[in-house]
Amino acid sequence: MYKKILVCLDGSDLAETILPYAIEQTRRFESNLILFRVFSETPVISVAMPGMPGLPIETEGLEKRLAEEERETENYLKSLVDKIRTETGLNVNYDKMLGVAGPAIIEFSNKHEIELIAIATHGRSGLGRVVLGSVADYVIRHSATPILLIRPGKNKS
């Protein structure tokens, strides 16, 4: 049923709680599992005159930080892919994208004909959701692709 399953990750333990569910769906449907992470550009400093739009100032330090963020993302995804392949024998790949998480997930999903998006959510509501935003909420509202959404429970120990 689902030939391509996209697992949205951000490097956190919370995001990784979706993995067992996505792996089970991959087994059940003999799918291709794609681990995906969006990495963001470091905010740039902007200089502006009153009444004029700002001009970004890119420094060597910002460029180095972006390159480091991309390397960290690559290493993170490679290690997860290796672990999942070793433990399950499944067909697992990865990809990454520079951008803003929600829109990047939708863009990637559409471009690569993803059939199921798997994502975990913090489950924030009210002011927390307004202030911090929700990538999962964005994906739910903007994607026509089916979504497997997990809201991890609290540890009861």
> How would you label 49-82 residue by residue, b for 16+ Cβ within 10 Å and e otherwise?
eeeeeeeeeeeeebeeebeebeeebeebbeebbe
Strand-pairing partners, residue 148, are 118
CB atoms within 10 A of CB 121: 20
Q: Judge whether 46 and 56 are in contact, CB under 8 Å.
A: yes
What is the model's pLDDT at position 156? 44
CA dist., res. 138 & res. 55, Å (int): 29
All structural domains of the chain: 4-41+59-150 (3.40.50.620)
pTM, 2 dp: 0.82
Return the higher-pLDDT residue of 122 and 81.
Answer: 81
Cβ distance 77 to 94 under 8 Å?
Answer: yes
Tokens representing 65 are 């930080």
The mean pLDDT value for 10-32 works out to: 95
Interaxial angle between packed helices 135-142 and 101-111, expressed in degrees from 0 to 180 and rounded to the nearest 10: 40
pLDDT tens, 83-136?
999 999 999 999 999 999 999 999 999 999 999 999 998 765 554 444 345 899
Amino acid making up residue 132: L
For the chain, percent helix, then strand, then coil, each to nearest 5? Answer: 45, 25, 30
For tokens 């471009």, the residue is 111
